[in-house]
Chain A
Amino acid sequence: MSYLFNTPQQTEEMLAAIGVGSVEDLLEQIPESLRLDRKLDLPAPKSELELEQHVRDLAGRNVTASSRSCFLGGGAYDHFVPSVVDEIASRGEFYTAYTPYQAEASQGSLQAFFEFQTLICQLTGMDVSNASLYEGGTAVSEAAFMAMRVTNRHQRVVVLGTVHPEFRQVLHTYTDLLPCEIVEIPCQDGGADLNLVKEQLDEKTACLVVQQPNFFGCLEDVRELSELAHQVGALSVVSVDPISLGMLERPGNLGVDIVVAEGQPLGIPLQYGGPYLGILACRKEYVRKIPGRIVSLATDRNGKRCFVLGLQTREQHIRREKATSNICTNQGLLALRATVYMSLLGADGLNRVAELSCRKAHYAAEQLTALDGVELMFPQPFFKEFVLRVEKGVERFTDAAREAGFDIGPLLRQFDSIDPSVRSQGVLVAVTECRSRDEIDALRDAVRDF
C-alpha cells in the first residue's frame, strides 16, 4: 500500500507489544453503531504512472497563459518567475516544515520570514509587516478589523467602489454578523469622487479602503484620500499591486496607515486563483493590533542573534475568544517565494518590471483604441491594466481575440457590483513585461474587423 511502512510481520509485533490481537481491537473506542458498514465510495486507486497519465489528460483540457497570449488580469497576473524561485521553494526543508514553533529547529524559515517582513517594509515604506495572510481579499477584511481595533470604532467602514469587486464581497461576508456598516462609494469615471468620499466619512468611520491601482487599473489620489480619512480620525487602508511599487510612490510616503496587497505577482504561479499571498504592513504604533504571525529578532541563551515567532500573546492560542484574528496558518511557502523574488530583483529589477509592464500596457491601449468603436472607458492615468469600452459588442471582441490565440479579460459583466453602464460594454486588459510588441500588434490585427 502506498506511503505505509509497517510490514505484516511488523504489524503483528506491534500489536503483540500493545497486547491486542488486531488493529480492529484498537478501535474499540468507536461504538459499533457509529462505524461505517461499507467501503467508502471512491474511485479505484491509481499507480503513479496511471495517475500522471490521467492528470496530464485533464490538465491538457485547460488553456493556460502559455498556450494563448495572456492579457488576463483582475488581480492575478502572468508576470515572469525567475528559475531560482522554483528551485528554492521546491526544497523539501522549506516546503515540508511546519509553523516554526520550535525556534531552534526552524531558523531557516524564521530568518526568511524576517527578511520577507523587512523587504515588504522597504517596498511599501511602512514600518512593520506580518509574515503573511491568506490572500489579498481577506487581507482587506483583516485590515478593516484591525482599523476597528485601533480606532475603537466598530460601526462603519467606507470602501471605494473601485476596489476589486471580490475583495468587497469578502468584506461584506466577513462583517455580516457584526454591527458594522460597509458603505460603498460608487465610482463612475474610474476614480474616486473626493466630494462623495468626504460626505460619507464621519467620526464613526474606522477606515477608508482604497485600491491602488484600482480594479480598473486607474490611479487614485491616495495622498488626498488618506488626508480625508485622517480628518475624521479614520485610518487609511490601501490595497496595492506590489509590482507597481517598482515605479509608483510608496504608500508610507502618502499618509497611508495600513497597506495590504495580493502578493501573487511576486513570483507566485497563477494556479487558478490560489494559494496566493496576503500582505499586510502598517505604521509601528499599531504593531500590537496586527493580525497573523510575526517574526521577531531575538538573542539566544548565548547571546547569539536568532529569530522567533513574536507577539504571540495577541493570537488565538493564547487569547482565544479575545484574539486579534482567528488566523492560524500563514502562507509561509508563498512568503518565501516572494522573498526570493524580491531578493533577486531588488529595487532596480522591480523598477524594470514595472516600467516594462507600464510601457507595454500603454502601447497596447494605444493600438487597441485606434480601432473603430474601441476606446478607453476611463480618462484616468493607469499602470499596467485598463478597461476598454467596446460599444458594438464586447463579447464578439473577446471571442475574436480568443479565436486568434489571445485571452483578454475578465469581462466586467461578471461583476454585479459594478455600475451597469460600465459593466455591459467593458473588458479589462492586463499587460505584463512578458508580452511582446509582436503579440500586441497581432492582437490588434486579430480584432481589427471583429
Chain B
Amino acid sequence: MKNELATKLLFELSVPGRRATQWPDSDVPEQSLDELIPSQFRAESAPSMPELTESDVVRHFVNLSTKNFSVDTHFYPLGSCTMKYNPKRHERLAALDGLGNLHPYQREEDSQGMLQILYEMQEMLGEIAGLPAVSLQPAAGAQGEFTALLVAAAYFRDRGEKRTKVIFPSSAHGTNPASAALAGFDCVQLQASSNGLVDPDDLQSHLDDSTAVFMITNPNTLGLFERDIARIAGMIHDAGGLVYIDGANMNAILGITRPGDFGGDMMHYNVHKTFTGPHGAGGPGAGPIAVRSFLEDYLPGPVVRKDTAEDGSVTYRLADPPNSIGRMRSFFGNVGILLRGYFYLRTLGADGLRAVSENAVLNANYLREKLKDILPVPQGERCMHEFVSSGKLQKDERGVTAMDIAKRLLDYGFHAPTVYFPLVVAEALMIEPTETESKETLDAFSEALHAIASEDPEMLHQAPHSTPVSRPDEVAAGRKPLLTWTPCLND
C-alpha cells in the first residue's frame, strides 16, 4: 500500500502532545496572569490547532512543494504573467541582515543605506518609463492602477473639473475596470476591432468632457504594439483626459520605447513580472507608479527625497508630496520585492535591459512561427513578447479545446499557457516564452504541441494523466465551497 502520509493535511497528521518548538523559560519575575491581563480578556481554552514535530512539518511541506510546477522546475509560458527566471543572488541579498531585518520605524539616520537603494530605484523606474515622478508604495499592479486613478481624480478636482468616465479596451486586464469601479468612476468598454488594436474612430465617439482616464496596455494583451498610440494619446489629451499605461507588458519594450514618450501620463510597473520578483504562488508583487511631473505632488507618500548639503554630503529622507492623495498601505511599500528589482537593474544596466526585450520578442516570434500550422494567431503578422493563438482549428476539426491542450501539456512536463484570455480570441492560448528560455526549450515545447495535435481527442479530454490529481470539479466546488478543514471531512 502506498504511503499516503505525504498527501494528508496538517490537521490529519496531528497527534496530541507533539511539539515542534521549544521556548525559553521566562527570565522575568513571575506574576500571576490575572495581574498582567484581567481574565475577561483572556481565552478560556487554547484554540484547536495541529500538534506536530519539526520533522513532521518539514516533510509535509517539502512533499507539498513537489506537487507544484514552478519556474525553477518547468517551462512556464503563462501569457501575461511573465514567468521569467528569478536570479538566486536576489534571495541572498534581500535577506542580508541590513535589509531583511530593518524595522520600518527605524530612524532615517539609521536607514540611509535602504533609503539610498529606494531613491535610486525611483530614479531608475522614472527613466525607464520616461515619466520622472515615482512612488514605490503600491503593493501590486492592481493597487498601482487604483492609486493612479486616485491621482488623476485629485488632479481634476484641483482643476475644478468633474470627470467621471474611465475608458478601456475589451481586451484590458480585468483589474482595470475593477480598479476604476473601486475608485468610483463609471466604466466604458470599447468593442474589440478586427485587427486587435484600439480603433481611434471608435474611441473618438466615446470622448467628451466627462472623460477622465483612458487605460491601455501597450503592447496590448494580444502581444501587439498599438501603432496609433501617439494619435490616441493626442485625442485623449485634446478631450482633457489622461492616458494610463498598464505596465504589465513592459518586458517587451525596455530601452526600446517608453510610455512617457508615446503619450502616457501615468503607468504602473509589475516589478515581479518585468524585474524578476519571484511570483510566490500569487504574490507578493510590487506595483510602483510613474507619472508626469505635473502629477508629482499628488503621489501617495512616503517617497524618498535626496538632500545634498553645501559640503557635498548626501542624506536621504522620507517625505509626503504636498497634495498627496494619502497613503495606499501602511509603512513604505513591498520593499522586499523592490529590492529584487533594484538588484536586477543594477545587474543588467541599459544594454542588458534592452537585450532582455529583444530576446523576449525574438523568442515569442520564433515560437509563434513554429506553431502557426496548428495554433494560428488570428491578429497581426508579428508579435511583441507574447502572442495569442487560437485553438479554434483544433476544436472545429477534432473537438479538442484549448483547455484540453493546456491540460495535456502538463503531461509533457510544461506548464500550460493562459487559456481563454483575452476574451476576444476564440479558444485563446496566450503564450509568453520570456527571454530566459533557450531555443532548445522552445523547440521541445513546439514538438509537444505538435504531438498533442495528432493525439486521440478522447485521451486529451481526460488529460492530464500524470499529475497528482486531474480536472477538479470546479463547478461543484463553487456551488458548495469547502473552505476549511473540519474533523467531519474525514468521516
Q: Which residue of A lies closest to B26 (CB)?
A: A359
Given the complex, which residues of B lie within 8 Å of A43, measured CB to CB?
120, 124, 345-346, 349
Q: Are A122 and B329 in touch, CB under 8 angstroms?
A: no
Could you mark each residue 322-346 of chain A with 1 if its beta carbon is under 8 Å from any beta carbon of chain B, else 0? 1101111111111010001011111
Chain B residues with a Cβ closer than 8 Å to the other chain, count: 200
Secondary structure dominating the interface of B: loop
Given the complex, which residues of A lie within 8 Å of B145, measured CB to CB?
326
Across the interface, B47 reaches (CB within 8 A) one of A97, A125, A293, namely: A125
A-B CB proximity, top 10 nearest: A273-B331, A59-B98, A333-B280, A92-B72, A273-B104, A61-B113, A275-B284, A45-B349, A137-B330, A173-B326
Across the interface, A59 reaches (CB within 8 A) one of B99, B325, B473, namely: B99
Within 8 A of A (CB), among B30-55: 30-31, 33, 36-38, 41-44, 46-52, 54
Report the Cα distance A36→B129, complex, angstroms.
11
Chain A residues with a Cβ closer than 8 Å to the other chain, count: 203
- Chain B CB within 8 A of A419 CB: no
Q: Are A30 and B225 in touch, CB under 8 angstroms?
A: yes
Q: Are B178 and A320 in touch, CB under 8 angstroms?
A: yes
- Can you report 27 A-B residue pairs in the complex whose CB atoms are below 8 A from each other? A6-B359, A29-B380, A30-B257, A35-B257, A39-B351, A42-B124, A45-B352, A64-B98, A97-B70, A98-B281, A104-B467, A104-B469, A104-B471, A118-B10, A270-B100, A287-B481, A298-B472, A298-B474, A298-B482, A311-B478, A315-B174, A316-B178, A317-B421, A330-B283, A343-B57, A356-B23, A409-B107
Report the Cα distance A78→B101, complex, angstroms.
8
- Chain B CB within 8 A of A96 CB: yes
Report the Cα distance A65→B102, complex, angstroms.
6
Q: Are B329 and A138 in touch, CB under 8 angstroms?
A: yes
Binding-face segment, A194-202, A246-254, A370-378, A442-450: A246-254
Number of A-B contacts (CB under 8 A): 676
Could you mark each residue 323-362 of chain B with 1 if its beta carbon is under 8 Å from any beta carbon of chain A, else 0? 0011111111111110000010111111111111011011
Across the interface, A51 reaches (CB within 8 A) one of B42, B219, B346, B380, namely: B346
Q: Which residue of A lies closest to B69 (CB)?
A: A105
Across the interface, B65 reaches (CB within 8 A) one of A20, A94, A119, A293, namely: A94
- Chain A CB within 8 A of B319 CB: no
Q: Are A129 and B483 in touch, CB under 8 angstroms?
A: yes
Q: Are A70 and B435 in touch, CB under 8 angstroms?
A: no
Q: Are A117 and B127 in touch, CB under 8 angstroms?
A: no
Q: Which residue of A lies closest to B94 (CB)?
A: A271
Q: Are A273 and B333 in touch, CB under 8 angstroms?
A: yes
Within 8 A of A (CB), among B185-243: 185, 187, 219, 224-225, 227, 229-230
Q: Are A88 and B58 in touch, CB under 8 angstroms?
A: yes
Across the interface, B73 reaches (CB within 8 A) one of A28, A93, A99, A433, namely: A93
Indicate whether A176 sits within 8 Å of B62 (C-beta atoms), given known contacts A295-B483, A328-B175: no
Could you mark each residue 3-21 of chain A with 1 if its beta carbon is under 8 Å from any beta carbon of chain B, else 0? 1111000110111011110
Given the complex, which residues of B lie within 8 Å of A331, measured CB to CB?
280, 282-284
Could you mark each residue 52-76 of chain A with 1 if its beta carbon is under 8 Å from any beta carbon of chain B, else 0? 1011111111111111001011111
Across the interface, A169 reaches (CB within 8 A) one of B150, B253, B327, namely: B327
Within 8 A of A (CB), among B84-110: 84-87, 89, 91-107, 110
- Chain A CB within 8 A of B366 CB: yes
Across the interface, B353 reaches (CB within 8 A) one of A40, A322, A332, A349, namely: A40
- Chain A CB within 8 A of B288 CB: no
- Chain B CB within 8 A of A294 CB: yes
Q: Are A248 and B42 in touch, CB under 8 angstroms?
A: yes
Q: Are B478 and A312 in touch, CB under 8 angstroms?
A: yes
Could you mark each residue 298-320 of chain B with 1 if its beta carbon is under 8 Å from any beta carbon of chain A, else 0? 00100000000000000000000
Indicate whether A321 sits within 8 Å of B105 (C-beta atoms), given known contacts A42-B127, A336-B281: no
Q: Are B96 and A104 in touch, CB under 8 angstroms?
A: no
